[in-house]
Amino acid sequence: MNSNQPPSQQDSSGLLIRKMIEADLDHVIAIDQISFSLPWPARSFHYEIKENFTSRSWVVECDGQVAAMLVNWLIVDELHVATIATHPDFRGRGIGKKMLVHALRAARDEGVIRAFLEVRESNTVALAMYRSLGFVEDGRRKEYYKDNNEDAILMTLNDLAGIEGD
């Protein structure tokens, strides 16, 4: 876990955005497994919070429950959004976007100038979320996802200084 991340943030709606800790892992893994056709191996999340010094990993608590999770990798002045998911029971309430904005602002405060990610071309909800934050499509990886050979769209946010949303 990195000690130089900003403090957690509780907003007026009672959402608490904070760093991911070991006690969250069962919930984080459950969210990952229910959200993706190719979930990460469970041990990967343990590695992210205990060993990977580039990792910036977050959760959102809603009424005391872990409702969403996000793992980013910070490499020099770039942030790679590695995985993000909101539990299905909590989707469509602004949680995923608030969490991502919080993480992008935290990364900006650490000197990051650019963020990038891959997203399935069929994932219209995620594409809309990223576009609404200023991410632009700037590439494609052919047949990137091995379960159905779907292409990945590459998206980049080139100006973290101007990150919008809340």
Ligand X SMILES: CC(C)(COP(=O)(O)OP(=O)(O)OC[C@H]1O[C@@H](n2cnc3c(N)ncnc32)[C@H](O)[C@@H]1OP(=O)(O)O)[C@@H](O)C(=O)NCCC(=O)NCCS
Q: Which lies closer to ligand X via its Cβ, residue 114 or residue 120?
A: 120
- The Cα 87–Cα 99 span in angstroms is 13
Considering the complex, what minimum distance in angstroms separates the CB of residue 137 from ligand X?
A: 13
How many residues lie near ligand X (CB under 6 A)? 20
- Neighbouring C-alpha atoms within 13 Å toward the C-beta of 65: 10
Contact pattern from residue 108 through residue 137 relative to ligand X, giving x for each residue in contact according to CB under 6 A and a dash for the rest: -----------x---xxxx-xx--x-----
The secondary element (H helix, E strand) that includes residue 140 is strand 136-145
114-120 vs 78-86, strand pairing mode: parallel
Cβ neighbours of residue 93 closer than 8 Å, sequence gap 6 or more: 62
The secondary element (H helix, E strand) that includes residue 43 is helix 42-50
Query: Is 130 in the active site?
Result: yes
Q: Which lies closer to ligand X via its Cβ, residue 51 or residue 147?
A: 147
- The Cα 119–Cα 141 span in angstroms is 10
Query: Is 121 in the active site?
Result: no
Range 61-100, binding ligand X (CB under 6 A): 68, 84-86, 91-97
Considering the complex, what minimum distance in angstroms separates the CB of residue 131 from ligand X?
A: 7
Q: Which one, of 1, 56, 52, 54, lies nearest residue 23 by Cα?
A: 1
Catalytic residue among 118, 121, 137, 150: 118
Considering the complex, what minimum distance in angstroms separates the CB of residue 3 from ligand X?
A: 27
**Catalytic positions, written as ranges:** 118, 130
Q: Which residues bind ligand X (CB under 6 A)?
A: 35, 68, 84-86, 91-97, 119, 123-126, 128-129, 132
